């Protein structure tokens, strides 16, 4: 695409009305632009594959394919390009469909050129912003594609900006966020973009170990320090020498151990369990928690002095609901990096919409697990609504009841309809699924959901 330093948008106009196409070309040339034009969708896609455009003016009705189909292909080629749909027969339904498909705006013919120029300029500004953000995000390196942090929403960008600023320093960082929001990914990004990147990144989870075991794990122990200590063992503070120590779930650390960690943060001093010899650690500490540490301090479960030592830089991670716009990108990322089988899966628009509107209480971790499950269940390497858990599908269906329909009534109608098809086909599930227009797996799920097996059997 065009560079963000350009002040004039690179424009592509796609319309099968040759008179209007010529008129728009001449108008925008007088305004200093040099637009390319196309009268078919196929030619427009070829132009976009060979050139870089900022904004596309795209007619909804084209002779060879629909404008929405062209829109999808353009966005797949260049996600940053902004598309303004044009139509002579506008409707609210068409506009909603276009915006869902990724259009920037929707304009009805005839239009005023001065108003259209305003929309083009705003779209161009959005393109420039996206490119500038991509440029600084690309400065952040990741250890592998699997651990890459994905997204372009405003909350995610703020996190990435903080990582970029803080990573090069030795500053202690406290990462806060709900479970599944990616706290360990942030710790990894901080380490791999710091001068310590070639030294160890060592992780310890305070919730996974009892206090005595956690102390030995962190600081090591001498031979004979306790029953079972048959030989000396270095702690993770030693193992992480010169690198980064990531302490996860730090709110679960016992108060006595908090005091010993405080010493490490203050002057680097620590002792192995059972030793009288002081050692000095050169480690950067990054800590994470899903708890409110201020409340933990009030309830005397967390040391206030340790909190201030840890909270030099506070990175707060948004929930997936707060960065809902990143869900499509995250889905594509997981379908590539957590692939089940040799080739990537695709996903239907209905399934994508359902995943986008689900509230995700388990955040990104839940999304990744749902996609792994969907890949296992999907047929012909395409994820559909049938492959998603019932709770996600039910949330997707909820807007229909919100419009005034009784959800209990809708469930009853669905139950009776499925039962009628089973009776009509004399219990043959293959034919019943075909009559309903759904997969056999979806039919089995409906049979279990509505306990229809006995009813269908009695009717045959």
Domain ranges of the chain: 11-135, 145-316, 326-459
Rg over alpha carbons for the chain, rounded to the nearest Å, is 29
The span from the CA of 248 to the CA of 228, in Å, is 26
Q: Is the pLDDT of residue 406 over 80?
A: no
Flag the least confident range among 24-28, 260-264, 390-394, 399-403.
Answer: 399-403
pLDDT one-digit tens code per residue, 174-189: 999 999 999 999 999 9
The confidence score (pLDDT) of residue 75 equals 83
Q: What is the CATH number of domain 145-316?
A: 3.40.50.300
Could you tell me the pLDDT band of residue 23, with boundaries at 50, 70 and 90?
Answer: very high
Angle between helices 407-424 and 390-402 (to 10 degrees): 120
Residues 5-28, mean pLDDT to the nearest whole number: 86
Of the candidates 329, 310, 313, 237, the residue with the CA atom closest to the CA atom of residue 279: 237
Instruction: Calculate the dihedral angle through the C-alpha atoms of 157, 162, 165, 171, rounding to the nearest 10 degrees.
Output: -160
326-459 and 11-135 share a CATH fold: no
- Beta carbons within 8 Å of 120's beta carbon, 6+ residues apart: 9, 11, 55, 57, 84
pLDDT: which is higher, 138 or 242: 242
* Pair of tokens at residue 290: 């899903």
The confidence score (pLDDT) of residue 429 equals 86
Parallel, antiparallel, or unpaired: how do β-strands 284-289 and 346-347 relate?
Answer: unpaired
The confidence score (pLDDT) of residue 4 equals 38
The confidence score (pLDDT) of residue 2 equals 40
Flag the least confident range among 304-313, 317-326, 384-393.
Answer: 384-393
Q: How far is CA 178 from the centre of its chain?
A: 15
Q: Is the pLDDT of residue 401 over 80?
A: no
Of the candidates 262, 254, 270, the residue with the CA atom closest to the CA atom of residue 309: 262
From the number of C-beta atoms within 10 Å of its C-beta (0-12, 13-18, 19+), residue 196 rates as buried
Residues 274-287, mean pLDDT to the nearest whole number: 93
The confidence score (pLDDT) of residue 3 equals 38
**Reduced to 3 states, what is the DSSP secondary structure of residue 302?**
coil
Q: What percent of the chain has pLDDT over 70?
A: 90
Angle between helices 390-402 and 349-357 (to 10 degrees): 80
The span from the CA of 397 to the CA of 451, in Å, is 20
Residue 246: φ, ψ to 5°: -100, 115
Q: Is the pLDDT of residue 439 over 80?
A: no
Angle between helices 211-219 and 255-267 (to 10 degrees): 20
What class, spelled out in words, does domain 11-135 have in CATH?
A: alpha beta
Of the candidates 103, 13, 25, 19, the residue with the CA atom closest to the CA atom of residue 59: 13
The residues facing 191 across adjacent strands are none
Could you tell me the pLDDT band of residue 250, with boundaries at 50, 70 and 90?
Answer: very high
Cβ burial 372-409 (10 Å sphere, 16+ → b, else e): eebbeebeeeebbbbbbeeebbeebeeeeeeeeeeeee
Fold of 326-459: Helicase, Ruva Protein; domain 3 (1.10.8)
The structure's pTM equals: 0.63
The confidence score (pLDDT) of residue 421 equals 83
């Amino acid at each position: 695409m065009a560079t963000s330093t350009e002040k004039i948008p690179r424009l592509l106009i796609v319309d099968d009305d040759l008179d209007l196409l010529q008129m728009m070309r001449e108008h925008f040339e007088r305004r200093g632009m040099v637009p390319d034009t196309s009268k078919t969708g196929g030619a427009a896609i070829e132009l976009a594959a060979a050139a870089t455009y900022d904004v596309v003016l795209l007619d909804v009705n084209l002779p060879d394919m629909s404008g929405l189909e062209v829109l999808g292909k353009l966005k797949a080629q260049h996600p940053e390009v902004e598309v303004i749909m044009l139509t002579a027969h506008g409707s609210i339904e068409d506009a909603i469909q276009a915006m869902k498909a990724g259009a920037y705006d929707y304009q009805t013919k005839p239009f005023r050129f001065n108003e259209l120029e305003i929309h083009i300029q705003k779209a161009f500004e959005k393109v420039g912003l996206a490119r500038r953000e991509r440029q600084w995000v690309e400065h952040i390196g990741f250890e592998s594609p699997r651990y890459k942090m994905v997204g372009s929403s405003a909350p995610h960008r703020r996190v990435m900006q903080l990582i970029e600023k803080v990573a090069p320093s030795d500053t202690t960082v406290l990462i806060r966020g709900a479970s599944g929001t990616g706290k360990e990914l942030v710790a990894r990004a901080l380490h791999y973009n710091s001068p310590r990147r070639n030294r160890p990144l060592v992780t310890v989870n305070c919730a996974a170990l009892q206090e005595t075991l956690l102390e030995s794990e962190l600081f090591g122990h001498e031979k004979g320090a306790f029953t079972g200590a048959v030989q000396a063992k270095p702690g993770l503070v030693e193992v992480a020498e010169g690198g980064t120590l990531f302490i996860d779930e730090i709110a679960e650390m016992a108060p006595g151990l908090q005091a010993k960690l405080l010493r490490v943060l203050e002057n680097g001093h620590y002792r192995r369990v059972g030793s009288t010899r002081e050692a000095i650690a050169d480690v950067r500490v990054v800590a994470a928690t899903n708890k409110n540490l201020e409340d933990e301090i009030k309830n005397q479960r967390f040391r206030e002095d340790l909190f201030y030592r840890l909270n030099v830089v506070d990175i707060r991670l948004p929930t997936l609901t707060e960065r809902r716009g990143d869900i499509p990108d995250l889905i594509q990322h997981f379908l590539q990096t957590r692939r089940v089988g040799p080739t990537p899966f695709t996903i239907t628009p209905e399934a994508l919409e359902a995943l986008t509107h689900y509230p995700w209480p388990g955040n990104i971790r839940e999304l990744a697990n749902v996609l792994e499950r969907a890949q296992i269940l999907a047929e012909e390497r395409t994820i559909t609504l049938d492959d998603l858990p019932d709770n996600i599908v039910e949330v997707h269906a909820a807007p229909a009841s919100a419009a005034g329909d009784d959800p209990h009534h809708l469930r009853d109608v669905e139950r009776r309809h499925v039962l009628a098809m089973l009776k009509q086909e004399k219990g043959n599930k293959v034919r019943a699924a075909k009559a309903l227009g759904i997969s056999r797996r979806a039919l089995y799920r409906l049979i279990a959901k509505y306990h229809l097996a006995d009813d269908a059997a009695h009717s045959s």
